[in-house]
Structure 1
Amino acid sequence: MYRFLLTPRWWAINVFVILAIPVCLIAGMWQLGRFEHQVDVHRHQQKQAESAGEPRPLADLLPLTTETAGEQAEVTGSFDADHQLLVPGRRLDDTSGFYVLTMLHPADGTPALPVVRGWLPGAADAALVPPPPAGEVTVTGAVQAPESPAEVDGPTGGLPSGQLGVIGAASLINVLPYPVTDAWLTVRDAEGPMRAVPVTAPSGTGLDMDAFQNLGYTAEWFVFAAFTVFMWFRLVRREVELRRDAELGLIPPQQSREDALARSGSPAPPA
């Protein structure tokens, strides 16, 4: 009764099913692995937010990854008060304000590090900002990944001199006479009246919509695998039923059998 499975047409169907099922399962497991990685990164970021942790040398955290972004770093150097910038349109506790961004020249001679010394409410005004400490200082804070315009809610272009829309080496290179590190640091303890800027998760990490899309794709691939098996069994059962009907004479001659098979969606058996 099942010898038809060895016909060339059914061999093609069987090979397709045998290949499709592992492909769907592998793709589903890959998407599930991406979601689990996002969960692990989210938990790591939560632990960083809940505990300041021991600061590490900045060189140990660069270049930044999703695992090292948000880690506490310690840098010794001197602030460049002549190139201090204000970053407007930044919110903290639902209040609009601005960041105070000052370049720190590390004592080891590495490129300057952008440091957000704190946040102040209201419109960006340099008169409200306390001057940076003079001389050599040691700064401790969380290292952040460069921002992209899509991540910024405030203005990113057309700003007056002394203001910056996006924090990152790509934007700072246009306003500074020296190279900077492609990362920035937000101080752990801000000097009053400024408030410390909380750590933010880098783009593409954490339990955002992209992470749950990976979970949805996982379910889709597993459904595809199950549907492939279901359709194979359905086609086999329909083929068996048609052949049994033909043996009992319930289906007239060969042409009618082929018409019935065509209507059922099953491949026609050999004559």
Structure 2
Amino acid sequence: MYRFLLTPRWWGINVFVLLAIPFCIFMGSWQLSRFEDRVQDHRDAGEQATAAKTDPARPLAELLPVDKETSGKQTTATGRYGKQLLVPDRELDDKRGFYVLTLLRTDDGRALPVVRGWLPGDADPAKAPAAPTGEVTVAGALQASETPGSNGVPAAGGLPAGQTGAISSAALVNLVPYDVYDAWVTLAKADAGMKAVPAAAPADTGLDLKAFQNLGYTGEWFVFAGFVVFMWFRLIRREVEFAQDAELGLVEGEGAPAGQDSDTATDTADSTKVSASPTA
């Protein structure tokens, strides 16, 4: 009954099934592991953010370069404030406003971007308080350089003089006359008249669209594996039913309808000819 499984055509079908099912299961498992990794990163980022609020501040040099482990950590830096810029179109507490960004010149000659606070409304230099003079020591959360077009950072250019769309060394290199750290700090306590900007979670550590895409792909691959198995059994069933019909003589004549033998087909044809002949 099942000897057809050893025919060349079915050898090809069986090999395809034996390769397709493990491949679909492997891809589904891999996508599931990617989703689980993102969930774990999200948990780690939450725990790190909580711990960063109570951990003692460390010198800036000990936390560079910024990565997932050091992003959000409390740090300190000493220097003198220099050029001040505004970062427009930033939201805080569901209100639109702007950051006041001031470059802190450190002893090594480089400048550290420091977000001294947030103000509501359109970016206006007249609203931004002047930075303290003389040598200051700042304390706040260390952040990685921003990427335009991600995490709410505007990608539009053409801003007025004295403004920047992203807080990064690449965006500031043409706006300030000195080298800039590839990092920035948001003050734990904003300067007078402004609100402190909370630290953002490191990139790719949240349950974002990519995470749920991984979960969706997981389901798709497992469905594909089930579909392959379903179609394989369906093809086998059709082949068995065809063999059973052949044994009963239901498919003896090629092209004859199922359930009709050759003699019945001949009688039907003769009766058709008689009915089609003209009457006397």
TM-score (norm 2): 0.80
Secondary structure in 1 aligned to 2:197? coil
Structure-1 separation of matches of 2:59 and 2:11: 63
- 1:249 is aligned to 249
Give the deviation of 1:9 after TM superposition: 0.9
Distance 1:47 1:220, change over 3 A: same
Structure 2 gap ranges (5+)? 259-280
- 2:66 is aligned to 64
After superposition, where does 1:92-241 map in structure 2 within 5 Å? 92-107=92-107, 109=108, 111-127=110-126, 128-132=128-132, 134-152=134-152, 156-241=156-241
Give the deviation of 1:100 after TM superposition: 1.2
Distance 1:111 1:25, change over 3 A: farther
Q: Percent identity?
A: 53
Q: Which amino acid aligns with 1:79?
A: R
Q: Which amino acid aligns with 2:80?
A: F
Give the deviation of 1:48 after TM superposition: 3.7
Structure-2 separation of matches of 1:101 and 1:115: 6
Q: Which amino acid aligns with 2:180?
A: V
Query: Is 1:86 the counterpart of 2:86 in the alignment?
Result: yes
Distance 1:73 1:50, change over 3 A: closer
Matched-pair contact (CA < 8 Å) for 1:142–1:187: no
Q: Which amino acid aligns with 1:77?
A: T
Structure-2 separation of matches of 1:131 and 1:251: 94
Secondary structure in 2 aligned to 1:148? coil
Give the deviation of 1:60 after TM superposition: 4.9
Give the deviation of 1:144 after TM superposition: 3.3
Distance 1:142 1:32, change over 3 A: same
Structure-2 separation of matches of 1:133 and 1:226: 69
Structure-1 separation of matches of 2:93 and 2:229: 53
Q: Deviations over 1:118-164 (max 9, x none)?
A: 11223323343141352152433232342313544668422222111
Secondary structure in 1 aligned to 2:79? strand
Structure-1 separation of matches of 2:61 and 2:251: 80
Q: Which amino acid aligns with 2:190?
A: A
Give the deviation of 1:45 after TM superposition: 2.6
Q: Deviations over 1:46-89 (max 9, x none)?
A: 23444414234444544434x336421413231332x1111122
Secondary structure in 2 aligned to 1:149? coil
Give the deviation of 1:202 after TM superposition: 4.4
Structure 1 gap ranges (5+)? 261-271
Q: Which amino acid aligns with 2:113?
A: P
Across the two proteins, how many residue pairs are aligned to each other?
255
Answer with 147-156 or 173-182: which moved more.
Answer: 147-156
Structure-1 separation of matches of 2:94 and 2:220: 39
Q: Which runs of 4+ in 1 moved over 6 A?
A: none
Structure-2 separation of matches of 1:232 and 1:206: 40
Give the deviation of 1:192 after TM superposition: 1.8
Structure-1 separation of matches of 2:32 and 2:183: 30
Structure-1 separation of matches of 2:207 and 2:247: 59
**Alpha-carbon RMSD:** 2.6
- 1:265 is aligned to none
Answer with 117-126 or 153-162: which moved more.
Answer: 153-162
